[in-house]
């Protein structure tokens, strides 16, 4: 009997220790970099405290409808305008978490230049939206009107999703919550055919820049971002 009691106590103690185990040194807190990420060349686009890496499209500052609170960047309502990174990038990887509001819509664009009235006339858009109740047939993680995905691994509106995009001249790839969605070569013959069959065919500069700003869209709906990390591959 005593042996059984001692074994049970030891087992419960082990369970307690496992339950209280601290994260490993390589597990980064939100809006921070792990040691392996630092060693691999990743940098933060958002430090959790301010929007010093961003400004509004064609403007100097950031509209006050973009708010930093609780370690998140949130567009609180229509009228905030698109925001772009102050720096420009050619080949890169980007990872970030987003949380879209019910029925909401937003987007992430790359290789954006400020030669047009709106960012999407130069920069390809990776769709962000509520895939269940959203109103756009283009789903989250797709390259808008160009490269869809046959799978949907998004979490529901109001929950965090992680989008990971790699852009190089040789190949571009999209991953949603760890699942590969699509791959393509920007500027290839296939790319040109798809652009010609899309609404972007009207804009001669669409998809042509090979370097530009990273853009987060104001589509009129509440959307939040965190853990915005980038690695230059130039």
With respect to residue 108, please indicate whether it lies within any of the assigned structural domains.
yes
With respect to residue 19, please indicate whether it lies within any of the assigned structural domains.
no
* Cβ-proximal residues to 108 (8 Å cutoff; 6+ apart), any chain: 94, 96, 125, 126, 128, 163, 165, 214, 215, 216, 217
What CA–CA distance (Å, rounded) separates 117 from 66?
A: 21
With respect to residue 1, please indicate whether it lies within any of the assigned structural domains.
no
If DSSP codes are grouped into helix, strand and coil, which group holds residue 7?
helix
With respect to residue 6, please indicate whether it lies within any of the assigned structural domains.
no
Give mean pLDDT, residues 11-19: 41
Query: How many helices (DSSP H) and strands (DSSP E) are in the chain?
Result: 3, 13
Both structure tokens of 208: 């042509």
pLDDT of residue 26: 60
Tens digits of per-residue pLDDT, 151-196? Answer: 999 999 999 999 999 999 999 999 999 999 999 999 999 999 999 9
With respect to residue 22, please indicate whether it lies within any of the assigned structural domains.
no
pLDDT of residue 27: 66
What domain range includes position 71? 28-232
- Tell me which of 27-31, 58-62, 77-81, 153-157 is least confident: 27-31
If DSSP codes are grouped into helix, strand and coil, which group holds residue 213?
strand
Query: What percentage of the chain has pLDDT greater than the value 70?
Result: 88
Across the chain, mean pLDDT equals: 91
Q: How many domains does the structure of the chain reveal?
A: 1
With respect to residue 119, please indicate whether it lies within any of the assigned structural domains.
yes
CB 58 within 8 A of CB 114: yes
What CA–CA distance (Å, rounded) separates 204 from 189?
A: 16
Both structure tokens of 127: 């769709």
Q: What are phi and psi of 15, to 5 degrees?
A: -60, -40
β-bridge mates for residue 75, sequence order = 66, 223
Tens digits of per-residue pLDDT, 77-127? Answer: 889 999 999 999 999 999 999 999 999 999 999 999 999 999 999 999 999
If DSSP codes are grouped into helix, strand and coil, which group holds residue 108?
strand
With respect to residue 32, please indicate whether it lies within any of the assigned structural domains.
yes
The CATH number assigned to the domain holding 153 equals 2.60.120.560
CB 215 within 8 A of CB 119: yes
């Amino acid at each position: 009997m005593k042996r059984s009691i001692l074994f049970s106590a030891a087992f419960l103690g082990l369970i307690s220790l496992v339950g209280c185990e601290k994260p490993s040194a390589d597990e980064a807190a939100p809006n921070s970099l792990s040691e392996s990420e630092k060693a691999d060349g990743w940098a933060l686009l958002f430090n959790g405290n301010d929007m010093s890496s961003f400004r509004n499209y064609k403007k100097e500052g950031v509209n006050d409808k973009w708010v930093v609170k609780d370690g998140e960047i949130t567009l609180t309502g229509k009228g905030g305008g698109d925001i772009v990174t102050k720096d420009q990038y050619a080949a890169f990887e980007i990872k970030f978490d987003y949380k879209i509001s019910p029925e909401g819509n937003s987007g992430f664009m790359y290789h954006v230049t400020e030669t047009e009235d709106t960012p999407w006339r130069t920069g390809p858009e990776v769709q962000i939206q509520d895939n269940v109740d959203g109103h756009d047939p283009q789903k989250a993680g797709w390259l808008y009107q160009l490269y869809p995905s046959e799978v949907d691994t998004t979490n529901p509106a109001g929950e965090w999703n992680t989008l990971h995009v790699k852009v190089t001249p040789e190949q571009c790839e999209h991953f949603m919550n760890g699942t590969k969605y699509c791959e393509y070569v920007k500027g290839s013959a296939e790319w040109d055919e798809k652009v010609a069959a899309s609404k972007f065919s009207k804009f001669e500069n669409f998809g042509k820049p090979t370097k530009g700003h990273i853009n987060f869209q104001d589509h009129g709906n509440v959307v939040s971002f965190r853990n915005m990390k980038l690695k230059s591959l130039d």
